[in-house]
Chains A and B, each alone.
Chain A
Amino acid sequence: MSRSDPATRRVLREAMPPLRRLMPAVLAGIASGGSAVALLAASAWLITRAAEQPPILFLSLGIVGVRAFALSRAVFRYLERLAGHDAAFRQLAAVRAGVYERMLPVAPDGVPATRGGELLARFVGDVDELQNLALRVVQPVVSALVVLVAAVTGIAFLAPGAAAGLAVVLVAGIGLALFAQHRAGARADRELAPLRGRLQQAVVEHLRTRELLVAYGAAAADLDRIDGLARRLGRVSRARAVAAGAVAAAVAAMGGIGAAVALWLAAPVLSNGGIDGPTLAILALVPLAVAEVAAAIPPAAAAWRVARSAAERVARAVPAEVPPELPVPALAPRALPAGGTAPRLELHGVHADWPGSAELERPSALRPVDLVLDPGERVLVRGPSGSGKTTLAHVLVRFLEYGGSYRIDGIEARELDPHRLRDRIGLVEQRPWLFDESIRQNLIFARDTASDAELEAVVERVGLGDWMRERGGLDAPVGERGALVSGGQAHRIALARAMLADFAVLVLDEPTASVDRARADALLAELLDAASGRSVVLISHTPVAPGLVDRELVLD
């Protein structure tokens, strides 16, 4: 069914719950499917036998059976769903932790998803999709196959010919459905998804430029263009529906054709006395229930497709080996000399690249730079976008490996434990991440021993004291993705966090990017004032007001 690469197979294997946890759901599924088949068999037998008007005692077993199977079908179905979901959720914790564990050696710059946005949502969605492997693929298929095999075997004891006929019909029906589904799925991947993307892009563009379009009298023409894309999408999805319809048709026909074939093959056996009337009725009706059980297989195949491509993307998103652009922790790290003062940083010919850049044959992200940062100094690193400013910032905190020499108080950074380096050198990112929790929770992880008074003091120091009190203090939420705070406030919170961690060297990456020009200098002055006593590497694509920094390093 699949030709997956080893990394994908590994992800899929890890997504599978252990057998003992999968078992309850599978067993309940078998019991539920089996009950459905048995219910119809018992009913058919009961009615046909009753028509022979035997003493009522002969029927009591059938009556009990009918009632019991009716009850057990519903009960086991309920248990199957509960047990299946429970197993899937339990595995989700393992899947998430496993993927996260593999991310750690390459985090953050080896995992593009951590840069946020669409990529992040997709990655997390893909990881969570993996729980469906057991729930929607393995468990329903295993349950259905067991019931199908058991039902056909059971029928074989009554009339081997009819059993063979039914088996052929089931295999053909399921095979046809799977084939049609494969066609439909391949078509959706190949044509539907890109068209959907283009249509959505056209809609977004129309909305973004709608005033322009309206002012230029071009809105109606653009809507016609969107409709044209929608019509193309319509043609493709109708073509896909032809294949999807074949799946539905095959599933709908399986039971009836199975019944017809079984009757046709069993009729001669009946006439030469091989079976009795009630058995014939069983042979005629059981295919209907069996087909309903078999109907679970095509959706499972579709779910397999989804789960496998999710696994492929997860495997691709997290590299199995640390790429050469990322640091590997030193085996016998040296220790930094202890001391309260900021260390002296010396960079000579430092250059760096992002993971994957070798394949793209892009020029070096950071061309060799020299920089010396004495304790307490403030240096502005300036340059146009693409000149390697953020790359330099990531080298300084050892997110990225470097070429050349980067010494901290005379010790080569490569020989240090990155964790110890990051105890001293901190980064406030261009788009600081705020967790969807309170202000307190967004600060406390920088120093978990901090008291409320200390937290409030640091918030005060970055100029958010009044703002915080307005919102009800440290417990005020910041919202999802910091939705309840402005870009400037987010930077202040991030700076407060960095000050709480008491980094001796602070790297500020474009702290004023989300603030308009007029207020940028004022914010910068405040931020630098709050960070006084520390060495600061300030990164900006625009010049800053004179007097704020000691020196400038221009990248180009």
Chain B
Amino acid sequence: MKPLDPRLIRRSGAARGFLVAGGAVALVQAAAVIGFAYGLARLVTDLVAGVPLAELGWAMLLLVGCVLVRALAAWVWEWSGAAGAVRVKTELRRAVLESVDRGAGAPGGTGRLATLLGPGLDALDDYFGRYLPQLVLTVVAMPILLVAVWLADPLSGLILVIVLPLLPIFMALIGLATKQVQQRQWEGLQQLSTAFLEIVGGLSTLVVFNRAERQLGRIRRATDAYRGKTMRVLRVTFLSGFVLEFGASLSIALVAVSIGLRLVSGEMGLLAGLFVLVLAPEVFLPLRNVGAAFHASTEGLEASGEALDRIEAGERVDASATRAATTPPSARSGAAAALRLERFAALRDGRAVAAPVDLELAPGEVVALVGPSGAGKSSLIAALLGFAEADGEAWVDGVTAGPAARPRVAWASQQPLLRAGTVASNVRLGSEHAPEALLEEALAELAVGLEAGHPVGPEGAGLSGGQQQRVAVARAWHRARAEGLRLLVLDEPSSALDAGHEARLAAAVRRLADGGTAVLVASHRPALVAAADRTVELREAVRVAK
């Protein structure tokens, strides 16, 4: 695992800003630490030499001033870490969502993506708040402090220069030597760690079978086994912490003893000796903190790495889409028709979902798209809108089907896809500029039966299935009218409606068509199909045997 993802630096302005600001703070902090060590050493040396405290006011001021600067630096780190994390998260979140919207899809499902964008990216709080500051301090401040020690006493500097690189090397060696042991232990640990959750989650099942009381022993055994395995892992994991602590305190001891011995023989002065003694632990501090915050770093890095992967995958999709868009358009454009399909078929995994369809919809026509469940009605509609790959050609209102045709289609999908808010906020989605009157008209036409201000919960909560469906269809109707579109596509719009509402829907569709809009209705409900002018049947794709 790299300590810092170069892609993050390249892509995120906020991350770059944080590092630059952090570098400056680290410089100031290093200066304050040196000033503090000098002030303290000077005070002790001079007081021991008999200088009265009154004459050492400047050293006391330097000391306290440097302490305050250091405290301020700690404050700035905290603040800029929080601010940086929020800004980077906002940037990454937006970029990932945009790439998903452009068609990169959500591999692993939207649940996983939502987890990545929520708790996943939140791990960056610790990454920016705890890990990166120490990393910057290690890179910027540690060398400066080392140079200060070296200038004051080259031998102590040499001791530190020898010990410092040894620590990461020892830690890496320990990691390497124990990797296999660790791996073996972690396997099986996962199952033990979820044992309690499994029992609590399955409690009602266990009660049904009268097995609940017996689980007490199992809980104790599993937790004990978990402890045993975890402790074996920790004994090794804590070793690297031990190496850091041990290296740090050992170097202080080495430096202190060597300085003491040289002071006795008069080879060096007390001032330099105390100065180095105060500074030596400070040299190790950022490195120790980096080690302590290492876990915080990996989680945040993994999350940002996955986010960046998805952004880059989205860019590859964009690039191929751009290539596709620059291929010359076909000579015919089907300009007069509201919708025209020529041997058009949706593809799934590169294979046609259904047999290719030829179809032309004139304005004012209502056409029913029928076929058995699973025949690919929804896939065909998805392909029209560019949400699925397609074979053949299609034009919506003279525009090639796909992403470019979206502004020319009003569409109600099979799932109502309602959003939290009100009935009005759902129906006016994307057409907020349209007059209020049109909203009321939409609600009346589709017999929604709810006030415009009626609240809608997440995923349509609080509305019945039928109400949700009517709001969704009213939304498509509203869009068609508000934007003056020539094509309305409805996907199973009456599956949750009773006969009365279905008849109202059929009538509303007819009135809209009479106004010059073509309507394509995918449905398996006889009443709705009968109300259409024509019927197009989708057949199963002919599989050519190899």
Could you list which residues of chain A lie within 8 angstroms of chain B, going by C-beta atoms?
Answer: 36, 39-40, 42-44, 46-51, 53-54, 56, 59, 62-63, 66-67, 69-71, 73-75, 77-78, 81-82, 85-86, 89-90, 92-93, 96-97, 100-101, 103-104, 107-109, 111, 113-114, 116, 120-121, 123-124, 127-128, 196, 199-201, 203-219, 221, 223, 226-227, 230-231, 233-234, 237-238, 240-242, 244-253, 256-257, 259-260, 263-264, 267-268, 270-271, 277, 280-281, 284-285, 288, 397, 399, 419, 422-423, 426-427, 429, 432-433, 435-436, 445-446, 480-481, 494, 497-498, 501, 516, 518
Contact = CB atoms under 8 A, between A and B. Distances in A.
Contacts of A244: 78, 82
A41 to B, nearest CB: 11
Interface stretch (B84-92, B144-152, B529-537): B84-92
B118 A203 contact: yes
A48 B122 CA distance: 49
A285 B431 CA distance: 70
Nearest to B54: A267
Given A70-B250, A245-B74, A207 B106 contact: yes
17 contacts: A78-B239, A93-B227, A100-B199, A104-B213, A107-B203, A107-B204, A108-B207, A127-B196, A196-B122, A205-B419, A205-B420, A217-B407, A223-B101, A234-B87, A238-B79, A271-B50, A285-B40
A256 B70 contact: yes
Contacts of B265: 53
A120 B64 contact: no
A44 B241 CA distance: 26
Contact of B385 (A92, A109, A215, A252): A215
A286 to B, nearest CB: 12
Contacts of B47: 263, 267, 270-271, 277, 280
Contacts of B89: 230
Contacts of B197: 120-121, 124
Given A82-B231, A107-B204, A497 B209 contact: yes
A81 B238 contact: yes
Interface of B: 36, 40, 43-44, 47-48, 50, 52-53, 60, 63-64, 66-68, 70-79, 81-83, 85-87, 89-90, 93-94, 97-98, 100-101, 106, 110, 113-114, 117-118, 122, 191, 194, 196-213, 215-216, 219-220, 223-224, 226-227, 230-231, 234-235, 238-239, 241-242, 245-246, 249-250, 252-253, 256-257, 259-261, 263-266, 269-270, 273-274, 277-278, 281, 373, 382, 385, 387, 406-407, 409, 411, 413, 417, 419-420, 429-431, 458-459, 479
A512 to B, nearest CB: 16
Given A209-B419, A212-B417, A284 B40 contact: yes
B33 to A, nearest CB: 10
A501 B209 contact: yes
A69 to B, nearest CB: 8
Given A67-B253, A203-B117, A62 B260 contact: yes
A436 B191 contact: yes
B74 A249 contact: yes
Contacts of A245: 74-79
B264 A50 contact: yes
B100 A96 contact: no
A217 B215 CA distance: 55
B127 to A, nearest CB: 14
Contact of B216 (A50, A97, A267, A285): A97
A7 to B, nearest CB: 19
Given A70-B249, A210-B101, A216-B429, A43 B277 contact: yes
A160 B97 CA distance: 64
A206 B212 contact: no
Contacts of B117: 200, 203
Contact of B253 (A70, A423, A498): A70
Contacts of B36: 256
A96 B75 CA distance: 40
Q: Is the interface of B mostly helix, strand, loop or mixed?
A: helix
Contact of B257 (A46, A77, A248): A46
B429 to A, nearest CB: 5
B430 A216 contact: yes
Nearest to A208: B110
Contacts of A259: 40, 63
Contacts of B261: 50, 56, 59
A204 B459 CA distance: 10
Given A75-B246, A252-B74, 11 more contacts: A40-B281, A67-B253, A100-B200, A111-B203, A121-B197, A245-B79, A248-B75, A251-B74, A270-B48, A271-B50, A422-B207
Contact of A201 (B63, B245, B420): B420
Contacts of B194: 436, 480
Contacts of A494: 205
A267 B215 CA distance: 67
B295 to A, nearest CB: 14
A120 B201 contact: yes
Closest 4 CB pairs of A and B: A256-B67, A216-B430, A89-B227, A108-B204
Nearest to A89: B227
Given A67-B257, A207-B114, A47 B263 contact: yes
Given A47-B256, A215-B406, A216-B430, A248 B208 contact: no
Contacts of B264: 50, 53-54, 56, 59
